[in-house]
């Protein structure tokens, strides 16, 4: 396979990645523009029972994957792999073919030209992704603390109710 063939394959892969990215962006914009359907509410009869401790919501599974996560795994990861793969291919070809070694400066310049903007884009994407992960972590810390506080207050209230019931029981026994 010639260098021209390899470059054509890389160009086709990059074009396909660009189409996938464009489709992903369009789908996200369409989701945000379309009105959301209201959730159907089920009417449930409430019986008097003891309150259960609150549990962490199951919404975390549905909100786990965001557009930035998809962007990172569909664009950034393949871009880095293609860039490193191309650099590895140049190195491998340079070890096998003397003609590549004679023109290695041109190939390294091409890798540097492609890699510079790629690194900037990847760095910005990583910064956005890190910020999003930090926000999620902070949210879950607050949510967990709220659950802990609720459980603590519920336990104190249950203890207070039980102590009042015991006091009432002692008062009733002392009146007899």
Domain-located, residue 68: yes
Q: Report helix angle 3-33 to 77-96, nearest 10.
A: 180
What end-to-end distance do the CA atoms of the chain give, in Å?
103
What is the number of alpha carbons within 13 Å of residue 120 lying toward its C-beta?
Answer: 5
Output phi, psi for 49, to 5 deg. -140, 170
Kindly give, in sequence order, each residue whose CB lies less than 8 Å from that of residue 143, ignoring residues fewer than 6 positions away: 56
Q: Is residue 37 part of a domain?
A: no
Question: In terms of residue numbers, what domain contains 93?
Answer: 3-32+63-175
How many percent of the chain have pLDDT more than 90?
Answer: 21
Q: Which residue has the tokens 């019931």?
A: 165
Residue 41 lies in a domain: no
Q: How far apart are CA 159 and CA 54, in angstroms?
A: 18
Q: Is residue 132 part of a domain?
A: yes
Q: What is the pLDDT of residues 130-171, one digit of tens each?
A: 998 999 999 999 999 999 999 999 999 999 999 999 999 998
**Polymer length in residues for the chain:** 176
Number of structural domains the chain divides into? 1
Q: How many CB atoms lie within 10 A of CB 69?
A: 13
- Domain contains 96: yes
In a domain, 51, yes or no: no
- pLDDT at residue number 61: 46
Structural domain contains residue 50: no
Is 72:79 a contact under the CB 8 Å cutoff?
Answer: no
Please give the pLDDT value at position 153: 95
Q: What is the pLDDT of residues 27-54, one digit of tens each?
A: 776 777 677 666 665 655 545 445 555 4
């Amino acid at each position: 396979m010639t260098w021209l063939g390899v470059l054509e394959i890389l160009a086709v892969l990059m074009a396909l990645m660009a189409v996938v990215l464009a489709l992903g962006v369009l789908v996200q914009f369409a989701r945000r523009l379309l009105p959301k359907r209201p959730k159907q509410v089920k009417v449930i009869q409430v019986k008097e029972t003891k309150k259960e401790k609150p549990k962490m919501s199951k919404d975390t599974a549905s909100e786990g994957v965001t557009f930035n996560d998809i962007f990172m795994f569909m664009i950034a990861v393949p871009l880095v792999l293609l860039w490193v793969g191309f650099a590895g291919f140049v190195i491998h070809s340079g070890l096998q073919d003397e003609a590549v070694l004679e023109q290695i400066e041109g190939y390294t310049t091409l890798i540097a030209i492609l890699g510079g903007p790629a690194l900037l884009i990847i760095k910005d994407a990583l910064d956005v992704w890190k910020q999003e992960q930090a926000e999620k972590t902070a949210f879950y810390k607050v949510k967990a603390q709220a659950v802990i506080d609720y459980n603590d207050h519920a336990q104190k209230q249950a203890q207070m109710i039980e102590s009042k019931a015991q006091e009432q029981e002692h008062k009733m026994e002392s009146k007899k």
